[in-house]
Amino acid sequence: MYEFKDGILTCQLPNGCYIKQERHPQTNEAITEENAADILRICIGDEQWLSLKAKKYENRIQSSARLIAEMAVENEQRVKSNEWSIEQLQTVLKDKQISNLVLFLQMASFQTAMEVIRDLKGDVYTEELKAAWIKKIQAAM
């Protein structure tokens, strides 16, 4: 959607135009991580802002189906490789937190999905597994 790096805010609009902003257009204050989104909205207007936000969530929704499918395939592979038993897989599939994880992914709420992963408890949810799942979600953002 936009990038803030080294004090410069850049963004490619849906129409292909680029915005590059170093200062607040009204107050001339420096751009920070905290005010970058608000400044972008001022620069491009509400209609373009909503269009950018919608595109962000459209991309996340497309990514969420792929993420869920990849996780399912990986879990199936864990059973085939005897890393997990059938019973462990069934426990995972019945876990309410996993249901919440899938729901948050489907709703494109990736930050909340990562919080759910961090809070998972149980012997099958190793730190390595949780880190791998979080990395997948971060890559999709």
pLDDT value at residue 133: 96
Instruction: List the beta strands (DSSP E) in the chain.
Output: 3-5, 8-12, 18-21
The 10 Å CB-count burial string (b at 16+, else e) for 36-58 is bbebbebbbeeebbeebeeeeee
pTM beyond cutoff 0.75 = no
The residue extents of the domains of the chain are 3-56, 57-140
pLDDT score recorded for residue 107? 92
pLDDT for 4: 79
Q: Give 10-residue mean pLDDT values along the chain (141 residues).
A: 82 79 84 83 84 85 93 96 96 96 94 96 95 94 81
Model pLDDT, residue 19: 82
Q: What is the pLDDT of residue 25?
A: 81
pLDDT of residue 1: 67
